[in-house]
Amino acid sequence: MHPPRDRVCAVVWRQDALELLDQRKLPDTIIYRRLATVAEVIEAIRDMVVRGAPAIGIAAAYGVVLAARARYAENPTHWRKQIAADLAALATARPTAVNLVWALRRMERVIAATDGGPVERLLVEAQAIHAEDVAANRRMGELGAALLGERGAVLTHCNAGALATGGYGTALGVIRRGYERGLIERVYADETRPWLQGARLTAWELVQDGIPVTLLADGAAAALLRRGGIGWIIVGADRIAANGDVANKIGTYGLAVAARHHGVRFMVVAPVSTVDMNIASGADIPIEQRAAEELLTLGGQPVAAAGAEAWNPSFDVTPAALVDVLVTEHGVALAPDEGKMARLMAGA
């Protein structure tokens, strides 16, 4: 099974190795990193070569294939015991995105049920995870676009597009479908400090598709909402708690607060693999803290006063009370709460 191809494809399995579009180099340079070992996959996830919760999970699944190939070649009898260390290392590569662990659990089930050489069966499972993600994104695009209502502009934060997924995108999937249906006339994209995913990635994706996009500094978003003309804020998610609280790129929470104040609707788009029913609320979601240098420098050059310190969480948590609608491939939850999340996941 091979995943459908879109214009933008961040994760590719080709000739027995994993190829990742290096998102650190976009938009100036399009280069794929070819990875042949699980250690290289772990490093690529940690270093943001690949990012976005669904894409991280897919990359990790392919990483398991590479690990199994090496471990089985080393010791066909005890490879299952040896691969446990690889799975543990993959699981800790990025702590907030729950799709990573979800994908590893699926691969572990295949490992437990496999006799003989494991590579072929694990590759089939990884490719299934990849293809299912693309199909889920297209389904979410349809469901989310159906909620947009009258034609207008939308605002998005970070990158929840084809680059962050197996293809098509979650939040950008809704935006793509909404634009196709004539319901979206323009997309406003926050620059998304400090990695500038909105400027480098989201704007690039939308330009590739010919969708009108206007970039703004993160701090300008509230003023844009006050001016009017924005019907929806549409974002993705890295983990969703059992009560509907949403962890997403830092800055999302502030947008949700501003949206509620200005009467702008707030939509979260994410596959059910992003929902962690083992976490009661957003207070329990681990928030990744990244290096101070990401804020204190730019392109290797200092941009802050010498001696200044930095607080650099990669994500924040938006309370469910500020979410107007959660869109998944298995359905939509309006004003999500604990009961609606339980019903949604029971159906999934």
Question: b/e map of 261-296 (b: 16 or more CB within 10 Å)?
Answer: eeebbbbbbbbbbbbbeebeebeebebeebeeeebb
Rounded CA gap, 223 and 220, in Å?
Answer: 5
Rounded CA gap, 6 and 168, in Å?
Answer: 7
User: In Å, how far are 23, 159, 232, 265 from 327, measured between CA atoms?
Assistant: 26, 17, 13, 13
Best CA proximity match to 33, nearest among 47, 45, 21, 48:
21
Contact (Cβ atoms closer than 8 angstroms) between residue 103 and residue 129? yes
Token code pair at residue 316? 């924040």
Best CA proximity match to 264, nearest among 218, 227, 317, 310:
227
- Reported residue count of the chain is 348
Contact (Cβ atoms closer than 8 angstroms) between residue 114 and residue 122? yes
Helix axes 171-180, 119-145, angle to 10 degrees: 50
Contact (Cβ atoms closer than 8 angstroms) between residue 228 and residue 219? no
Rounded to 5°, angle at Cα 258 from 257 and 261: 90
Q: How does DSSP classify residue 4?
A: P
Which residues are marked as active site?
Answer: 238
Rounded to 5°, angle at Cα 220 from 22 and 53: 35
How far is the first Cα of the chain from the last one, in angstroms, to the nearest whole number? 22
> What is the helix (H) or strand (E) element at residue 8, kind and residue range?
none
